[in-house]
Amino acid sequence: MRGDGGAGAGAGRAIKAMRAAVALVLLALAASASGCWDSREPNDLLYGLAVGFDLDDEGQYIAWVQFANPSAAGGSGSQTTQGTPTQPFWAYSGKGHSPAEAVAAISPGLSRNISLSHAEVLLVSERLAREGIGPVVDYMSRNPEMRLNVSTAVVDGDLRTLMESEFPVDPIPALSIRRMLTKPQTVDPSPAAADLLTLAIGLRRPGSDLILPVLKVDEEGEGDGGQESSGAGDETSGNGGGQVDAGSRQGKQPPKAPAEHIGGAVFRGERMMGFIDGHASRGTNYVLGAAIAASFHVDSPRGGGLSILVERTTAKVIPSFDGERVSVLIQVAAQGYVEAKVSREGGGGEGGMEGLIGQKAGGQRMSEEEFNRSVRSRIAQAMREDILKALAKSVEYGSDFLQLGNAVYRRLYKVWQSGVGERWYQLLPEVDVEVQVEVVLTHPGLVREE
């Protein structure tokens, strides 16, 4: 009996000791969880959501940072003491000899420390892009606060106008810009926004150059909903439509975003060489396998028009070398479906059918197999023409944004090391490129003869 009592007392003491140890561990965890990991209180920080860089006439860097207004987040702080609405965001700028110095120059005018840990977008002006984005990418990638998935774009227009302008949907412009750069586009599939990691890797990848999306700033102000944009997107594919004037019924113009995501900016190394339009951007997406979806409007072999949505593409870039010349075979496989048939009866004519491909067959009767074969051929030809336009721009700008050289580097490494890599930009205009496009249409029964 005594032995049992001693064992029970020992077990009780062990349980108490274990409970005390658990309590100490929990207390230590609670103590370590309080406060901030970097000894900075969140209330002492001002979070930048958009960061932009430009150059002035003297070659100094101009940094723009867009902050969310903390007082505008709550309901009680939605108005000032005078009763006027509180601005939901601010945009501050600073100058310096480097991007880091320019950002630091903003701090003296703020009551809180700047934090870029919540930055959504990184924007660079055309002027800075043509001078070189290397210092900006180096600074942003070295900043421990920056997330590597920050969306990046080149601004065609005044960077300050974009940073200070309001967007009609989101109260914080940075959120609208991020969504604009990342959402799928079917009518004008501009290049997807490259993140910071892609930028850092792309500047060092052999045989390839960068292509970034473009934000075309509306220099004439908001409210001109029916005017076409110019510049990088002058030659975007015609979709036969346009923006709906949602405010025309009330006799006023609807709000319009101060910028459009349209076209692309191509680089050679860290310097921008020029803009490409929507057709070349779409062709680039096909070659790089980055096209999510693309909308086409083609002539129907039976008369009228067809709306086709290409929803999936894959590509192979196969280089070869015969001892003297480099050849490249680009194979693109696409899958899509017929969205709708458009009849030209009623005087529609050619006016709203800009960008149609192929010729009508006079509405003659043909089998379903012949019909599908003809439509697939027309879509393949349209995609091939977009790729050829991208190739022409690559040669014109001396920029390998299609990454043909990288295919040679990966598949023919010995050839690349034999001297082809050193002379690649000289050889690029002489590369023989063959483009093969195969299109598969699903749901062909959506369009039938009457």
Per-residue pLDDT in tens (0 to 9) along the chain, 450 residues: 455 555 666 677 778 888 888 888 877 776 665 555 556 677 778 889 999 999 999 999 999 999 988 776 554 445 554 545 578 888 999 999 999 999 999 988 888 888 888 999 999 999 999 999 999 999 999 988 888 889 999 999 999 999 999 888 888 899 999 988 887 666 666 776 678 888 888 889 999 999 999 999 987 754 444 343 333 433 333 343 344 444 444 556 667 888 888 889 999 999 999 999 988 999 998 999 876 678 888 887 777 788 888 888 899 999 999 988 999 999 999 998 888 777 654 444 433 333 334 444 444 556 778 888 888 999 999 999 999 999 999 999 999 999 999 999 999 999 999 999 999 999 999 999 999 999 998 865 544 444
- Position 36 scores a pLDDT of 53
- Position 7 scores a pLDDT of 60
- Position 189 scores a pLDDT of 62
- Position 74 scores a pLDDT of 54
Q: What b-and-e string marks burial along 171-188, b requiring 16 or more CB atoms within 10 Å of the CB?
A: ebbbbbbbebbbeebbbb
Tokens of 59: 């070659």
- Position 434 scores a pLDDT of 97
- Position 291 scores a pLDDT of 62
- Position 238 scores a pLDDT of 38
Domains of the chain in sequence order: 40-223+245-276 (no CATH), 284-450 (3.30.300.210)
